[in-house]
Structure 1
Amino acid sequence: MVTSIETETELRERAEQVLATLAGPGARLREDQWTAIRALVAERRRALVVQRTGWGKSAVYFVATALLRAQGAGPTVIVSPLLALMRNQIDAAARAGIRAATVNSANIDDWDATYAAIDAGAVDVLLVSPERLTNPDFRDRVLPRLTATAGMLVVDEAHCVSDWGHDFRPDYRRLRALIAELPAGIPVLATTATANDRVVTDVTEQLGLGSEHTGDTLVLRGSLDRASLRLAVVRLPTPAARLAWIASRLDALPGAGIVYTLTIQAAEEVAEFLRERGHAVGSYTGKTDPEARLAAEADLLANRVKTLVATSALGMGFDKPDLGFVIHLGAPASPVAYYQQIGRAGRALDRAEVILLPGREDRDIWAYFASLAFPPESLVRQTLEVLSQVPQSTAALETRIDLSRTRLEMLLKVLDSDGAARRVKGGWISTGEPWVYDGERHRRIAAARRAEQQAMLDYLDADGCRLVFLRRQLDDHDATACERCDVCTGTVWSPDADATAIEAAAERIGRPGVELAPRKQWPAGMRELGVAASGRIPAGELAEPGRVIGRLSDIGWGTRLRALITDKDAPLPEDVLDACVRVLAAWSWAQRPAAVLGVGSRTHPHRLDHLVGRLAEIGRLPLLGTLAPAGPRPGAHENSAQRLAAVWVGFDAGSLPDLSGLDGPVLLVDDLVDSGWTMTVAARAVRLAGAPAVLPFALAQVG
């Protein structure tokens, strides 16, 4: 504890020296930075720091680490959500002479050496992902030693702890148990740039930061004003106009920046179009492999590309102080999430452009992500009952619990953090501890999400300062008009775009044809559901790669196909039929189809009959009719195992003629491919009837 003015002055002097090695000789601590460091080092308190992106939150924990280590404390453990964040932090630590190491899925071969270095006192900072906390080996072998010897615990991007936040990650909930096991007097720091009052309260509660032996948690909240940001909204009538607008303006925008999209497909489509227009751009999504992510980040940092077209996968942890612009092609579902993403821009610039191009399809995308909410109590209780018997892998659970893999994994992690289930080698098992389903909390969260979506729509129509609107959504009550945004200045971006670019964009996103990858492996454990299928699908039952006009999430065809799928059962419009013909004409199959067969539809039988009839007529191919549905109509299911079981006996084998005499593939036609199991089972039936090959074709694919 600091007991005199002299010792506090000395401590601050040493803190300033560490900062100078970290950020340069001219760097000086902000007063709030010093307040946090003093609380952590001198008082061993717990603190929550909510400050805008670029304020210097990492400087707080690196300076505090250096001071604590000088006093003989153990290593700091930093829980970071992204590998990109870890890489930046390790580089920053090295500049300050702090020895940092990380344990993550990308460096498994280094783990033993890292653990040995920790034991030898040769590591000052250990960075781990929240997912690592639930790994049985790490939890049982490493975590007890860390909690016993840690000098400080840092929870970075702490809003991820709260399911009220915009980026909830259930693995973070394990931190409450970790903090509870820390010896008395170990300081804890939680940091975030985006947390309103509700999230601040929840983070404090979820992490148990207000424990009785530590005194009250120090909460430091600063202004969220960003003097460099010039916010604007530009409304454009079509997806093609939005793409053309970006292509026409990109070279005139300052420096290098980010174009955010709401979906992976959109990011890839936009990046490809911009490259076709001669721009140096890359793409960055959740599907980008780690090495490609590193290369893309490096290209943007070095200004070798004008922009990365990215999903929210490029966010926390990416630090480019001179990022000149952020464009959103589609509005995020929350003003808080939007502020978090635009906070990447202009940290070390006098001016950065922030432009939102909303689309009519945004609400459909919001609705999809909202469907991934916490499961109902009946399914949670069913999961706990299954886990009470023997350990179950996630794949095995899917045959018993009708949840998608994403929702099931989220549920298991929440149950783990709540102490109701435990991850063990081989899967998960119930602990038998009492557990209460907080239905009221989940209802309030769902209502809050709807309110956030409405707030985002209100932002688009704001008649007052846009930055004030966003800051107040984050409960920054001292917000005053920025005098920089399009509303404050009355200066708006022209909606005009180059006519050639609009034409090229319309052609690019209106170009039909997406490859449909066939299923090659049956889900595990299908015998539990009465389905005699396991392992790889035999070569004699496989479909070939197929085609669809487009995905429901595509920028161009998505809106048209979504309307078509929900429309009345009627013959196909001519433009859609023309798109089918274009896709088939461009299909470079190894052998031309020898016949056409429809997959019987219960919802749109007349449309499907019209489609297969016209394709047979245009292609001058024999029409084999339709593979008739059998049994009751399958219910709605979420995961692969349940969906396959629902359609396994879904077709009348008697509706198929002997196809062994065909001298070419069967073109197998459906209207919509979702999980792919209906097409897989239908293709299997056609192959077993003697067809030498099956070419799947559908109007649309979900995704």
Structure 2
Amino acid sequence: MDENALRELAEERLRALAGPEAALREDQWSAIRALVLQRRRALVVQRTGWGKSAVYFVATALLRELGEGPTVIVSPLLALMRNQVEAAAAAGVNAVTINSANPEEWAAIEEQVVVGDVDVLLVSPERLNNPDFRDNVLPELTQNAGLLVVDEAHCISDWGHDFRPDYRRLRTLLTELPEGVPVLATTATANDRVVTDVSEQLGVGGEFSDPQETLVLRGTLDRESLRLGVVRLPTAQARLGWLASRLGDLPGSGIIYTLTVAATEEVAGYLRDQGYEVASYSGRTDPAERQRAEEDLLANRVKALVATSALGMGFDKPDLGFVVHLGAPSSPIAYYQQIGRAGRGVRRADALLLPGPEDQDIWSYFASLAFPPETTVRAILDALAEAGGTLSTAALEPRVELGRTRLEMVLKVLDVDGAVRRVKGGWEATGQPWSYDAERYERINAERRAEQQAMLDYLSTSGCRMEFLRRQLDDPDAQPCGRCDNCTGSGYSADVDEQAVEQAGERLRRPGVELSPRKMWPTGMGALGVPVSGKLRADELSGQGRAVGRLTDIGWGNRLRELLSTSAPDQELPEDLFNACVQVLAAWDWAQRPVGVVALGSRSRPKLVRSLASRIAEIGRLSLLGEVATNPATRPQRATNSAQRVAALWQQFRVPEELAARLSALDGPVLLMDDYADTGWTATIAGRLLREAGAPAVLPFALATTG
């Protein structure tokens, strides 16, 4: 097929995909030509909404007509996959997806792929190392693929704002592709450093550096529809009150981003109280609820989704009218990516940022979850080597000082580096030498610190905000936009109605969150000398508990972090928190009213916990029964996962005889009072001891929780 005929066919496919008026951009055609005619590798860096997906769907249609195999698209998010499957159908392309939400369909889909009925297979990067998929499906798929697409390719890069170790496995996949299989990598958010790194990861500009072999297409990052602005407000209640006052004025429907899961629920609850149709959305939201929320936003059945960054890459709503951030992301590049959801198909969309003083504390917390020190990583390798076989993640967890999420991340990095291998049933050591690249990790940390400072600079700049973001992305055409609040000298006023502030304050000051009891012991406790396993018995369980607030709450979070800071002095229960405790207890709809109060012995804040217990007992006219004592022979131990936490606590507490005697005479529940609930295991183990000593039921109560 000659080039002119191919272009006409490409234009025809594009019109089927995007409508009768659609026409290929020159860079879209350049990419399609490189992939279909020249079978080259290409990296396309273009703004959100430019039409990157059109490139690979049109290229797929053309390659399939030429008799080539299916396209494999590595895609990071379910929302992105769902949008792409629907878009592909419009272009006459049969696309299917294998992901965590449809395991019951995997076998049938894999059969469709084998017999050639599938034009596009979308897979998550995590699937690339699933043992069954990697060993049984991927080899044949790799040999027969017509095109490999890496979507959101900045995830490959150490320097990208959303680095994922699973993506680095693509380098191995690329080496296994037959000669002449074209490769397309796409992203909207990559500066020069990320472009270089992604190019090296993909072999674009690296071993395939001949200009006849590779193509990099990079366009302007201006978003002509976006009106950027920053609104500085003094308090959390002022920010929330401002949002409630102005949300109805914002165009169309949109996204309200927050930095924490707790904030999504808190903000969404308040806005619903104010009469807005909104829903919360985070990584903890049930998958079916997430899909329903996306569909409601797409259909304009809600004014906004209040979301974490879990609603990000690939969510495609051309008429999204606004993006509001309650709290600043830690990177201008991440911020650009998130506001890029708005204004694709409308003439104006607002992107407003309402920063808070707690933002930097949240950045610091997430930064603390970075790659762990070498001693911790070596402990993982040693544990696998000593096992001499396969260990599941759950079995490995008690042997190392990492929580489940971080442990899985480290294992993925070690897998990519060749030191461990994922197999059926878990992980095994490969015996290959491995070195800790401390210099690399420090470079990444330094870059993260620089990004955080750049975000602060964005907030304070008096220059054009869009130009600032484009320069962060090394856009050579960056120039003043003439639309943002700084360019126009106008924007949204920071004035907010005092009644709205007071209403928001009342909502934020409303204390009370649930503490869910632990019901299952961690796996592998026998290896740590703790004789428990499986479910806690009914006569060991504590009941549903309560806390005043979360440390990450917009309302109570700042106050609780101040009180419980390691640098704060131990003190009597402050009056504002006493009143909050009374409100929580008054609103607690318990099956049977407590008859007594027990303090949980504290080494760090004994005065605070004892005053909490005594004042609640006094005002509630409950018996102050005593204190679960700490064992002086034990010392607090650092524990970073449930198994080690249970082991550290197992011998730490005891029930004094006089307390046990009082418990055995009770005919109702006792409140177990503590300052802070993190994993829930302290209350679980102390509650178990109280139940064994005769307490009919135990209801945990804490000032703060991280849950």
Could you state the TM-score of these two structures normalised by the residue count of structure 1?
A: 0.97
Q: Is the 8 A contact 1:45 1:214 kept in 2?
A: no
Q: 1:211 to 1:363 in 2, by over 3 A?
A: closer
1:193 to 180, 188, 192: 188
Shift of 1:111: 2.2
Distance 1:690 1:453 in 2: 53
Q: Does structure 1 conserve the Cα–Cα contact (< 8 Å) formed by 2:515 and 2:546?
A: yes
Question: Is residue 255 of structure 2 the alignment partner of residue 258 of structure 1?
Answer: yes
Seen in structure 2, the aligned counterparts of structure 1 residues 212 and 238 have a Cα distance that, compared at 3 Å, is closer
Aligned to 1:586: 587
Alignment of structure 1 residues 329-344 onto 2, 5 Å: 329-344=326-341
Distance between the aligned counterparts of 1:616 and 1:118, measured in 2?
Answer: 66
Instruction: Assess if the C-alpha contact under 8 Å between 1:75 and 1:150 holds in 2.
Output: yes
- Structure 2 counterpart of 1:31, from 26, 30, 33: 26
User: Identity percentage over the alignment?
Assistant: 68
Contact 1:185 1:214 (8 Å CA) reproduced: no
Displacement of 1:211 in angstroms is: 5.8
Q: CA deviation at 1:427?
A: 0.5
Distance 1:675 1:281 in 2: 30
Cα displacement (A) at 1:407: 0.6
Tell me what 1:633 maps to.
Answer: 635
The equivalent residue for 2:667 is 663
Q: Which runs of 5+ in 1 are unaligned?
A: none
Q: CA deviation at 1:214?
A: 7.5
Structure 2 partner of 1:286: 283
Note if 1:108 corresponds to 2:112: no
The answer for the alignment partner of 1:96 in structure 2 is: 91
Task: Name the residue aligned to 1:466.
Answer: 465
Cα pair 1:330 1:356 within 8 Å, conserved: yes
Match of 2:682 among 678, 684, 687: 678
Q: Does 1:235 align with 2:237?
A: no
Q: Deviations over 1:144-193 (max 9, x none)?
A: 00111001100000111122211111111111111110011111111010
Moved over 4 A (4+): none
Please report the RMSD computed on the Cα atoms of aligned residues, expressed in angstroms.
Answer: 1.3
The amino acid of 2:655's aligned partner reads: A
Aligned residues: 698
Residue 114 (structure 2) pairs with residue 119 (structure 1): yes
Listed one character per residue, the Cα deviations across residues 629-658 of structure 1 (whole Å, up to 9, x for unaligned) are 113321222111111111111113336432
The answer on 1:87 being equivalent to 2:89 is no
Instruction: Write the distance in 1 (CA, Å) between the matches of 2:604 and 2:458.
Output: 39
2:611 maps to 610
- The residue type equivalent to 1:111 in the other structure is W
Counterpart secondary structure, 2:401: coil
C-alpha distance in 2 between matches for 1:166 and 1:11: 37
1:692 — aligned with what?
Answer: 696
Q: Is the 8 A contact 1:228 1:350 kept in 2?
A: yes
**Which 10-residue stretch deviates more, 222-231 or 634-643?**
634-643
Q: Provide the secondary structure at the position in 1 that maps to 2:196.
A: helix
Q: Does 1:377 align with 2:374?
A: yes
Deviations 1:230-262 (A, max 9, x none): 100001111111111111111111111111111
- Match of 1:309, SS state, is strand
Q: CA deviation at 1:272?
A: 1.0
Structure 1 residue 589: Cα displacement: 1.3
Aligned residue in 2 for 1:451: 450
Q: Which of 127, 130, 144 is equivalent to 1:132?
A: 127
Amino acid at match of 1:319: D
Aligned residue type for 1:530: G
* Cα shift at 1:30: 0.8
Quote the offset at 1:208 in angstroms: 2.9
* Structure 1 partner of 2:573: 572
Give the aligned partner of residue 536 of structure 1.
535
Q: Find the aligned partners of 2:78 and 2:188 in 1 and give their Cα distance.
A: 18
Instruction: State the secondary structure of the residue aligned to 1:328.
Output: strand
Contact 1:284–1:314 (Cα < 8 Å) also in 2: yes
| Alignment correspondent of 2:174 | 179
Classify 1:212/1:619 alpha carbon distance in 2 versus 1 (closer, same or farther; 3 Å).
closer
State the 1:210 CA deviation.
4.1
The question of 1:417 aligning with 2:416 is answered yes
Shift of 1:474: 0.9
The answer as to 2:655 corresponding to 1:653 is: yes
Aligned residue number for residue 497 of structure 1: 496
For the residue of structure 2 that corresponds to 1:541, the secondary structure is: coil
8 Å Cα contact 1:514/1:549 also seen in 2: yes
Q: Could you tell me how far 1:213 is from its partner in structure 2?
A: 6.0
Q: Take 1:157 and 1:200, find their aligned partners in 2: how far apart are those partners? A: 12
Q: Deviations over 1:505-544 (max 9, x none)?
A: 1111100111111111110000111111111011111111
- Partners of 1:595 and 1:621 within 8 A in 2: yes
Separation (CA, whole Å) in 1 of partners of 2:488 and 2:15: 39
SS in 1 for 2:700: strand
Q: What amino acid does structure 1 have at the position aligned with 2:94?
A: R
Aligned equivalents of 2:183 and 2:80: distance in 1? 19
- Deviates further, 628-637 or 247-256: 628-637
